[in-house]
Amino acid sequence: MRVSDAMIFERIAILGAGLIGASIALAARASSAARVVALYDRDAEVRSRALALGLGEVCADSASAVAGADLVVLAVPVGAMGSALAACAEALKPGAIVTDVGSVKGAVIEALSAVVPADALLVPGHPIAGTEHSGPEAGFAALFKGRWHILTPLPDERPEYAAAVDRLEAFWRALGAEVERMDAPRHDVVLAVTSHLPHLIAFNIVAMAEDLESVTESEVVKYSASGFRDFTRIAASDPTMWRDVFLNNREAVLEVLGRFSEDLAALQRAIRWGDGDTLYDLFDRARRMRREVIEAGQDTPAPNWGREN
Ligand code: NAP
């Protein structure tokens, strides 16, 4: 079969069949962005679930999955990227495009650059789309629709490299995403502010509430609709994924966390001294940011955040 215009790749291989890997498989098939989707996951049980879900051609090893693939997508935790690519590097088709979906870019680029074959084209990326769920059953084809996908191309002067970046951009657009290009250090700082710190705060608040001896767990759960439950959703995210994010974006997270701690101390002082103006001004600025997020189409203005209860 000829690769049509809509069909951007003849064969893609996805390593890691969790939430993101499964969603890419479903979206690629639904959009005809790839004719054949091959998948590999190191967990045999996940492989059989991926097969039962009809995600694509499920392979018993990563070398078989990447053999003949025009695009290889690494959808494993950030800390496993280097070893996942190393395990199948020799089986890559010459000139294959290799990308990833890792939530951190600097450390992943370092790990992948050390093992990627010289004739492959490494174009790192990160979809700004996800949920707190993991595993192949959590995947859905519409995950990337209307969401940003950030590509962090490398300073690669080969003429075929620029074409590979354009082709990968077309692939993500076919999956419904908006695509932006950015350098890796900038990506890591922006994501430290918009994703990594909010997750750290949520993990901390939820763990703290569990620890508090003066409030019983049942009361925390009973009254959670007053705000706490929104943190519990974020804090339900996969512990392996988030451990790897913080171990691999250490510098940017610590820098943003330093600023956050100073501002929190200022809020603490305002509360202690009854400084209502400072509190009001900050809350007002924060509320305006919420409006901007909704206007940018990144959340719903529906009452109760679109929840039915
Ligand atoms: P997930 O649902 O936990 O799936 C990851 C899968 O990869 C698991 O089945 C895992 O198996 C498998 N795996 C681990 N090491 C492997 C290896 N060496 N070879 C093959 N498979 C391997 O995770 P996810 O949420 O899809 O996240 C995948 C990547 O996407 C991460 O890098 C994350 O930073 C990024 N990301 C996630 C989100 C999100 O919201 N979740 C959003 C954007 C980007 P085991 O369970 O046995 O380890």
Measured CA to CA, the distance from residue 196 to residue 234 in angstroms comes to 11
Q: Is the CB of 8 within 6 Å of ligand 1?
A: no
- Sorted by sequence, the CB contacts under 8 Å of residue 170 that are 6+ apart come out as 8
**Average pLDDT of the segment spanning 169-173:** 98
pLDDT band per the 50, 70, 90 thresholds, residue 220: confident
Answer whether 103 contacts ligand 1 (Cβ < 6 A): yes
End-to-end CA distance of the chain: 49
- What pLDDT, on a 0 to 100 scale, did the predictor assign at position 306? 61
User: How far does the centroid of ligand 1 lie from the alpha carbon of residue 292, in Å?
Assistant: 31
Question: Mind listing the pLDDT tens digit for each residue in 224-275?
Answer: 888 899 999 999 999 999 999 999 999 999 999 999 999 999 999 999 999 9
Q: Is the CB of 20 under 6 A from ligand 1?
A: yes
What pLDDT was estimated at residue 217? 64
In whole angstroms, what is the distance from residue 17 CA to residue 2 CA? 27
Q: Give residue 157's pLDDT band: very low, low, confident or very high (50, 70, 90).
A: very high
Report residue 114 as tokens.
Answer: 């050390």
* Dihedral angle of Cα 113, 94, 152, 77, to the nearest 10 degrees: -60
Region 127-131: mean pLDDT is: 95
248 lines ligand 1 (CB under 6 A): no
Residue 214 has what pLDDT? 67
Rounded to the nearest whole angstrom, what is the distance from the C-alpha of residue 278 to the centroid of ligand 1? 42
> What are the residues facing 237 on neighbouring strands?
none
Ligand 1 centroid, distance to 76 Cα (angstroms): 4
CA 136–ligand 1 middle distance (angstroms): 10
Are 19 and 139 a contacting pair, CB within 8 Å? Answer: yes
Lowest mean pLDDT among 13-27, 103-117, 211-225, 241-255: 211-225
In tens, the pLDDT along 1-15 reads: 344 456 899 999 999
Mean pLDDT calculated for residue range 175-190: 98
Instruction: Specify the range with the lowest mean pLDDT, choosing from 2-6, 25-29, 42-46, 277-281.
Output: 2-6
For the chain, list the domains and their CATH numbers. 9-182 (3.40.50.720), 186-300 (1.10.3660.10)
Global pTM? 0.93
